[in-house]
Amino acid sequence: RSTPIKSSAASDVYKRQKLNILALALFGFGLASCTNSFLDVESKTESSTGNYYKTESDAYRALVGCYDGWQCTTSNKGVGFYLASEMMSDECFGATGVADGRNYQVIDRFDQAQSTSDLNIYETDWKNYYAAVYRCNELISRADDINWTSEATRGTYIGEARAIRALCYFDMVRLWENIPLLDIPTTDNISQANPDDVYQLIISDLKYAAENIPANAYPKAQAASNDGHITKYAAEALLARVYLFYSGYYGKEPAGLTRAEALAGVEDVIASGEFGLIDEFKNLWPAASVTWTTNNDGSHTKTNTYAGRGNVETVLAQKFNYTSDYNGNADGNAWQVMIALRNLIAVPYGQGWGGCTVNPKLVNSFQSGDTRSTASIIDCEAEGLVDHDNFSLLYNDQREYTGYAIKKYSPLAIWQQAEDGTWSEINEVMGKDIGAGEYQLSPYQDFIVVRYSDVLLMAAELGSPNAQSYLDAVRDRAFGGDTSKRVTATKENILKERMYEFAFEGLRYWDLLRQGVEVAASEIAETRTVLSGGVEDVVTIQSSKVVSTRGLCQIPYNQINLSNGVLKQNAGW
């Protein structure tokens, strides 16, 4: 049981339903897993709500379904929280291809006029999230029916389920703010909740997880077998993230969580000794840690320094599995292909659809000697991609080309060419020889939800007496041990450090927004000349659009219609 992602037994338990109602919950007994098994056994009997949720084995299979539901918020496509976060930030433009629809431009510019027909941009995401919440609600509501062998096991499984529910709601309340709040398995058509009530549930769920998942439930030393499980420490780190966002965006403390509690949580993560910083920043990212050279005799030599999945810096990762073909399952990291180089395989980078081209403003702001720049960003000119034989395939079809792309999550293509001219993948950095996969499905890099460096910087921002040493540790690594680059641990410097440390990790936008909508708008707004299909194009992002929407996203109009008017659209959309 290497990762808590899929179960063929869970596939029997969770029968997927069409999600086309307001709550997007599931009738009957839940959902099917969105991929094949990670367990070795098949269910021998038909499961139903009448004969299930009796044993700890039942509970574990249901928990696997909860993780699967959370994973499906990405692997079932849609826009995805990551892509939305990157496009709305000042890090990236919407991009994609010159002939593609402009739904990404709607997101990037907070402007429905970019594509007036795209009124349901986030509908798949809305469905995926409520499906995942339904699974969690089902397990949580059945906790008293299960014959637990110990309170520790009950606390672990229910704690994980509640933390997954909290993660889903935290994404949703930040994207849309005004959402129905369902804490029981129901398909009721209910009105949008006060966001304070949503945050109260998020905080209650994460506190339960932090208090009830034993510290030794999933030891970091055994990450090879338990990587991906939510731990006590992950819950504590997430509580700090929730506190910082809510208190910043709303200008008050959330009910049920104080600054002191948030700080105590991340200090506990640090004191645990379970986590640390990887020596070199680039080794956190597969595409940044592999080099591929061609020898004089035509052979190839690969150097791989990737720290690996579940490494000591990973506090929480959302796991994905390799998918080789269209077999009815979706299990990979669906957004990796969206940010990959448009139409171009340039070893070690795989091809994709060219979304989220990198804003030169960020590239040019890195200090000299900051190793995070080359580890985070593909520089097409500096890395010789512009001299690639097939570079025109990218250049002539790329919308909003800037010369820069995301490296941290670039899919890989470690290929060799046969005498007949065909290419095949011969080695994969993350530890698997997988052959030539379908590039739209095969990316499966973990999404790192929380890194240890984030814990250090959150603790510093929350007022730890060790703030300076925490900031120094992160910054010293970034500059290869050069202590002359240290800065004073002020809030301004800590937030600036986060911009470079977590570039393209889906955090920048929310860090901006929690400084105030006006602040975010001023940072995001700009007019920049780019190239679309090799022709000059102008991206204009107006601060007034960010302000009028309060940085929130479009609620799918289909869901508003299906609710018979119970749901209301967010301002500015």
Alpha carbon distance 135, 544 (integer Å): 39
pLDDT for the residue numbered 247: 98
**Residue 414 DSSP SS3:** coil
More confident residue, 31 or 362: 362
- The contacts of residue 168 (CB under 8 Å, 6+ apart) are 69, 70, 73, 129, 132, 133, 136
Pair 518, 140: CB distance under 8 Å: no
Residues 233-244, mean pLDDT to the nearest whole number: 98
Q: Which residues pair with 60 in a beta bridge?
A: none
Distance CA 515, CA 385 (A): 37
Lowest mean pLDDT segment, chosen from 249-253, 325-329, 394-398, 528-532: 325-329
As a whole-number percent, the residues of the chain with pLDDT over 70 amount to 85
Q: Are the CB atoms for 8 and 37 separated by under 8 Å? A: yes
The better pLDDT of the pair 345, 420 is held by 345
Q: Which of 405, 384, 403 is nearest to 395 (CA)?
A: 403
Mean pLDDT within 309-328: 83
Burial environment of residue 522 by CB neighbours within 10 A (0 to 12, 13 to 18, 19 or more): middle
Quickly list DSSP for 481-539. T-GGG-----HHHHHHHHHHHTTTTT-HHHHHHTT-HHHHHHHH-EEEEEEETTEEEEE
Q: Is there a contact between 72 and 5 (Cβ–Cβ < 8 Å)? A: no
Could you tell me the pLDDT band of residue 134, with boundaries at 50, 70 and 90? Answer: very high
Mean residue pLDDT across the chain: 88
- Confidence (pLDDT) at 419: 56
How many Cα neighbours within 13 Å face the side chain of 534? 8
Q: How many CB atoms lie within 10 A of CB 241?
A: 21
Q: What is the pTM of this model?
A: 0.90
DSSP 8-state assignment for residue 353: -
Which residue would you say has higher pLDDT here, 294 or 246?
Answer: 246
* pLDDT value at residue 462: 98
In the DSSP assignment, the letter for residue 154 is H
In this model, does residue 559 exceed pLDDT 50?
yes
pLDDT at 11 (0 to 100): 30
Report the candidate in 89, 91, 88 with the shortest Cα–Cα distance to residue 402: 91
For the segment 401-410, the average pLDDT, to the nearest whole number, is 98
Q: Is the per-residue pLDDT at 4 higher than 50?
A: no
Helices (H), 110-258: 123-141, 151-175, 195-212, 223-226, 232-250
Q: How far is CA 439 from CA 74, 383, 425, 573, in A?
A: 16, 22, 11, 34
Res 420: pLDDT: 58
Q: Look at residue 22 and tell me whether its pLDDT is greater than 50.
A: no
- Dihedral sign from CA coordinates of 97, 499, 285, 237: negative
Specify the pLDDT at position 304. 86
Max mean pLDDT among 123-137, 326-340, 343-357 falls in 123-137
pLDDT band at 36 (very low <50, low <70, confident <90, very high): very low
The predicted pLDDT at position 47 comes to 58
pLDDT at position 332, please?
87
Closest listed residue to residue 91, CA positions, set 523, 445, 552, 562:
523
How many other C-beta atoms can be found within 10 angstroms of the C-beta atom of residue 23?
22
pLDDT score of 25 more than 70 = no
